[in-house]
């Protein structure tokens, strides 16, 4: 899992664990919306040269473990991921537009933890915990 990446002027191994939730923690990331959200996150990461190492789309929040280039700040990466996905999800799903009539799909803020001070096994255990809800519903894996 620990692989160095390189560009024309750098060699780097920058990884971060990101978490953000839907506004009011409404459990709206289900079914088709959950699939579309996963696809939008994948597309945005590809466009930003961000590699998804692990990730989960739960019913009311997102977990991502990503490797990103040094030209991209964590805050800009999250802004683009949240912004593009919110805009397109609200445009494509009228039921979301009605619920989030103010146009704010994601909650304010996010959590970000640099990955390096914890073991891969600890992170994997944490993400595995989020793969399945206690009621048996599955989350969609982003890998």
Catalytic residue among 24, 26, 68, 126: 126
For residues 142 and 85, the answer to whether their CB atoms sit within 8 Å is no
For residues 82 and 106, the answer to whether their CB atoms sit within 8 Å is yes
63 bridge partner residues: 19, 56
Backbone angles phi, psi at 92, to 5 degrees: -90, -20
Task: Report the relative pairing of strands 11-12 and 15-21 from DSSP bridges.
Answer: unpaired
126 labelled catalytic: yes
Catalytic residues: 126
């Amino acid at each position: 899992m620990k692989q160095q990446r390189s560009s024309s002027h750098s060699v780097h191994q920058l990884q971060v664990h990101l978490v953000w939730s839907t506004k009011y923690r409404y459990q709206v990331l289900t079914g088709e919306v959950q699939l579309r959200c996963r696809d939008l996150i994948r597309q945005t990461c590809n466009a930003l040269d961000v590699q998804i190492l692990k990730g989960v789309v739960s019913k009311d929040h997102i977990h991502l473990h990503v490797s990103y280039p040094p030209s991209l700040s964590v805050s800009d990466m999250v802004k683009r991921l949240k912004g593009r996905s919110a805009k397109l999800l609200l445009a494509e799903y009228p039921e979301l537009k009605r619920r989030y009539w103010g146009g704010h799909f994601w909650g304010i803020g996010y959590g970000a933890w640099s990955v390096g001070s914890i073991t891969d096994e600890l992170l994997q255990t944490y993400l595995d915990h989020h793969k399945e809800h206690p009621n048996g519903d599955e989350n969609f894996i982003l890998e």
